[in-house]
């Protein structure tokens, strides 16, 4: 398993915990946007949008550049890849557990079917 810095991972999951920030990241996956463009679909102030962007920046999910008076944001996917790697460890764990459960249930179904066949023959 890839070891991620716990505080970095905490920041990523905190940033992803808000639906507005997730939607902002989705928009940034297509191209760069200004903070105003990111705020637009949510009917929020630039100050509120900027707070969301700062949270995304702390998690290193977004990089902001200033062009004159305009703040332009772009997606930095590397922290998402790290979080995905962390989650994949648990995906493998649960897949193995679910496979074992499926095998157990199939064995129980087969045993129950065999018992019913024996009872019919009596």
| Mean of all residue pLDDT scores within the chain | 88
Domains and CATH numbers, the chain: 6-78 (1.10.10.10)
Residue-wise pLDDT for 43-78, tens only, equals: 899 999 999 999 999 999 999 999 999 999 999 999
What pLDDT score was predicted for residue 4?
55
- Check: CB of residue 83 under 8 Å from CB of residue 13: yes
The model's pTM is: 0.71
What pLDDT score was predicted for residue 96?
73
Tell me how far apart the alpha carbons of residues 55 and 59 are, in angstroms, rounded to a whole number: 6
Counting as low any pLDDT under 50, the low residues of the chain are 1-3
């Amino acid at each position: 398993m890839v070891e991620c810095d716990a505080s970095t991972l905490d920041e990523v999951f905190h940033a992803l915990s808000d639906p507005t920030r997730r939607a902002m990241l989705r928009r940034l996956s297509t191209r760069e946007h200004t903070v105003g463009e990111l705020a637009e679909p949510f009917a929020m102030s630039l100050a509120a949008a900027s707070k969301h962007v700062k949270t995304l920046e702390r998690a290193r999910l977004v990089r902001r550049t200033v062009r004159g008076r305009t703040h332009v944001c772009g997606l930095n996917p590397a922290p998402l890849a790290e979080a995905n790697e962390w989650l994949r460890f648990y995906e493998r764990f649960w897949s193995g557990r679910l496979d074992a459960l499926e095998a157990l249930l199939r064995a129980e179904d087969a045993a129950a079917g065999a018992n019913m066949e024996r009872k019919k023959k009596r």
